[in-house]
Amino acid sequence: MAAAVLACLTSSSAQAAEAPDLARVTYSVEAAVTPDGSPRGPAIAVMQDGTVLLGGGTTGGELFTWSLPKKSLQRIASVIPASRRQLDSRFAITDIAVLTQSPSAAKLLVSYPRLGSARDCVEVVVDQLDYNRATQRIRKIATWFVSKPCVPISAVQHASGRFAVISANTAYVTVGDLGFSGINDRAVRGDLGSVFKLTATAATKVSQGHRNAQGIVLFDGRTLLTAEHGPRGGDELNLIRQGGDYGWPFVTYGQPYGDGDYVQPTQTGTHYGYLAPLKYWVPSIAPTELVQLPSVGWGQWSRGLVMGTLREQVLVFMTLDADFIPVHTSMVPMGERIRDLDVLPSGAMIASTDSGKLLVMSLRNS
């Protein structure tokens, strides 16, 4: 465990020439969960008292708590059985959702890719867990969702698995295309490349045609937005509509990787015939999680949208108009691949990085 903890509490300042407010974004390095040789940062969920839940660790399937005041990390459980994963950083917890919580207990959801029962294919799973905060014990209650089809192991990528909580008993989840070569055949792709509304007893498909949606947020608690990776560009911010088809792999603003890729887009540089993104990025910036900022404390960006990125290593700040189209956008360099984002009770943001750090970000007072 000692190798997994970094307690160096240093400070830096990020520059954003386009937006004076964002030139005051500062961050501190609070801690890190750094799996040996793993290039993937942990999933994050923030509880009402500021406790941070982390999913990742050396096996990819471990749950931790991080206390900001105490600067302490505690391992509480492993939730992916060793027999259902390979030694690959992509077999890891992709998100954590807190459905209900009290000082003594919490109801959680976790998502992750795992091997099928015969260990010859990969599926995306959502489990409900009971977290006893008094004893620091985790108990699995039920499996809410297992994606179908279970696809060849060589395709373990694009799991997505991001949550937006609707209520104590309901959540949205993104399911990626898993790099499945049959994704262009609607008759065989099943649950892949979709957004679902989940309860303990039902999974309702909301939308389809998504490649790898690593960001999701209920904006103002009502409007569902996602951020997803395109191929070699064509990364998208989407407004999700019931029954909507967002076109992958038939249309994309990105470009094919090459003849050896798992699927070739039918048309590039267009979204004709399918729901178009609110915004897209060419070249790729590799978007990850979306969060909405609080109504105060972030200057002109308060109540705005923030998106993490991997390839570009920036935070993308956005203000939206009445139709949820970004009207002001600014990128704040972080020098880190941002894997996950959340908002602390203080109004500061917290991010995990693929170098293993936890960054706490706020606006410095003028």
Per-residue confidence of the chain (366 residues) as pLDDT tens digits? 322 322 222 334 444 445 668 888 887 887 665 544 567 899 999 999 999 999 998 889 999 999 988 888 899 999 999 999 998 888 999 999 999 999 999 999 999 999 999 999 999 999 999 999 999 999 999 999 999 999 998 767 899 999 999 999 999 999 999 999 999 999 999 999 999 999 999 999 999 999 999 999 999 999 999 999 999 999 999 999 999 999 999 999 999 998 889 999 999 999 999 999 999 999 999 999 999 999 999 999 999 999 999 999 999 999 999 999 999 999 999 999 999 999 999 999 999 999 888 999 999 875
List 20's β-bridge partners, or say none.
none
Distance between CA 203 and CA 332 in Å, rounded? 37
Helix (H, G, I), strand (E, B) or coil at 131: strand
What value, to the nearest 5°, has the Cα angle with vertex 40 and ends 129 and 228? Answer: 85
CATH code of 109's domain: 2.120.10.30
3-state secondary structure at position 156? coil
Q: What is the tally of helices (H) and strands (E) in the chain? A: 1, 29
Amino acid at 91: F
Q: Work out whether strand 203-208 and strand 244-245 pair parallel, antiparallel, or are unpaired.
A: parallel
Question: Contact 305/225 with Cβ under 8 angstroms?
Answer: yes
Instruction: Read off the tokens for 278.
Output: 């609110």
Token pair 């990128």: residue: 331
Q: Which residues, in sequence order, are bridge partners of residue 206?
A: none
Tokens encoding 334: 């972080």
Question: Which among 282, 271, 270, 284 is positioned nearest to 239, based on CA atoms?
Answer: 271
Q: Please count the other Cβ atoms lying within 10 Å of the Cβ belonging to residue 221.
A: 10
Decide: 334 and 315 in contact? Cβ < 8 Å: yes
Total count of residues recorded for the chain: 366
Q: Which residues pair with 195 in a beta bridge?
A: 174, 207
What integer pLDDT is reported at residue 18 of this predicted model?
Answer: 54
Q: What token pair was written down for 291?
A: 């969060």
User: For residue 194, what are the domain limits?
Assistant: 2-363
**Pairwise CA distance, residues 170 & 167, whole Å:** 5
Cα–Cα nearest to 261, from 119, 149, 120, 158: 158
Gyration radius (Cα) of the chain, Å: 19
Measured distance between the N- and C-terminal CA atoms of the chain, rounded to whole angstroms: 39
| Integer CA distances (angstroms), 134 to 61, 75, 76, 105, in order | 22, 14, 12, 7
Q: Which two tokens stand for residue 13?
A: 């300042």
Query: Which among 299, 210, 197 is positioned nearest to 246, based on CA atoms?
Result: 210
Give the span between the Cα atoms of 301 and 125, in whole angstroms: 35
| Structure token pair of residue 251 | 């249309």
Distance CA 266, CA 271 (A): 11
Q: What pLDDT, on a 0 to 100 scale, did the predictor assign at position 20?
A: 67
Tokens 């792709």 locate to 189
Structure tokens given for 311: 């390839």
Neighbours of 220 (CB within 10 A): 10
Q: Chain-centre distance of CA 261, in angstroms?
A: 24
Instruction: Please state the domain count of the chain.
Output: 1
- Beta strand pairing call for 267-268 and 251-252: parallel
- 45: which strand partners? 53
